[in-house]
Amino acid sequence: MRIDAHQHFWHFDPIRDSWINDSMKVIQRDFSPEDLLSHLMSKKIDGSIAVQADESPQETQYLLELSNKHTWIKKVVGWVDLSAKDIEAQLERYQEEKNLAGFRKILQALPPSAMEEKSFLNGIRLLSKYQFTYDILIFPKHLKATIELVKKFPDQAFIVDHLAKPDIKNGEFESWAKDIKVLSSNPNLYCKVSGMVTEADWKGWKKEEFKPYLDHITNSFGTERLVYGSDWPVCLLAASYNDVFDLAWDYFETFSGDEKAGIFGENACKFYRINS
């Protein structure tokens, strides 16, 4: 099964979605499952994973409703307040949602020290009890704190989004590469091959710019812990859906059939517990 393991839907609200500023006019509009489906079909992708873009219970419910309506939305990565006093009761209730794979917090907007807060750590600690995954959304400055976080919870299924957003536009590599290598030593952590084009020059990126980063995550994680995602519609800031897919597909073209099947679907199915 071929899976796009990272995409979003929203009804655009200029107040709620203020992160989509005027430099991002191309995505200042609604994006629905109907908008995505033709792209999936063009690349013979069987399903997708809808990831939260807003930090609210309403966002999680919205995505779950879409996944119940559209069977090709295989799983949802929602949001829950991991620091809430009643977090365990919330997770217990969420267990009833068969399409809810796990959760994500927008850590990239917070200082690295946010990953050290006791209430947040308590929430992370409970996720594995209820078999929920956790998507890590960070910048390179968060990597050292992330290393410590992942190390604390060896039984938790973690996945880092967008290669941890290296500054591809300015060619920053060494520090990111060193920390990613250390982070990848945790076998409970996967990495999404996603979000690269928006970390490059939106209007002038070249395919060869991404090779050192792709080489490094492949050498660090191995093909069995890499997962493809488009980051649609955010990717539209810098590339079409087809361009994003082709960038990853072309890089892995010479890999074995089993390795490609893993990266473009089977690894996501394993990580997010997708059965069909």
Q: What separation in angstroms does the CA of 227 have from each of 3, 94, 159, 204, 268?
A: 9, 25, 9, 26, 6
Average pLDDT over residues 238-267: 98
Q: What separation in angstroms does the CA of 268 have from each of 1, 159, 272?
A: 10, 10, 6
Angle (CA) 182-185-190 rounded to 5° is 105
At residue 227, the 3 state secondary structure works out as: strand
pLDDT on residue 1 = 95
Average pLDDT over residues 228-250: 98
Predicted TM-score of the model (pTM): 0.96
Place of tokens 């949602």: 97
The amino acid that residue 266 corresponds to is E
pLDDT confidence band for 150 (50 / 70 / 90): very high
pLDDT on residue 234 = 98
Dist CA 181 CA 178 (whole Å)? 5
Evaluate if residue 212 carries a pLDDT over 90.
Answer: yes
pLDDT on residue 117 = 97
Average of per-residue pLDDT values in the chain: 97
Dist CA 133 CA 188 (whole Å)? 10
Evaluate if residue 257 carries a pLDDT over 90.
Answer: yes
pLDDT confidence band for 8 (50 / 70 / 90): very high
Q: Which CATH number fits the domain that encloses residue 89?
A: 3.20.20.140
The whole domain housing 59 covers 3-272
Evaluate if residue 276 carries a pLDDT over 80.
Answer: no
pLDDT in tens, 69-116: 999 999 999 999 999 999 999 999 999 999 999 999 999 999 999 999
pLDDT confidence band for 255 (50 / 70 / 90): very high
pLDDT on residue 251 = 98
**How many structural domains are present in the chain?**
1
Helices (H), the chain: 33-42, 57-69, 87-94, 118-127, 143-152, 174-183, 211-221, 241-251, 257-261, 267-272
Contact 98, 83 (CB under 8 A): no
Average pLDDT over residues 220-244: 98
Contact 48, 40 (CB under 8 A): yes
Counting residues of the chain whose pLDDT is more than 90, the rounded percentage is 98
pLDDT in tens, 177-200: 999 999 999 999 999 999 999 999
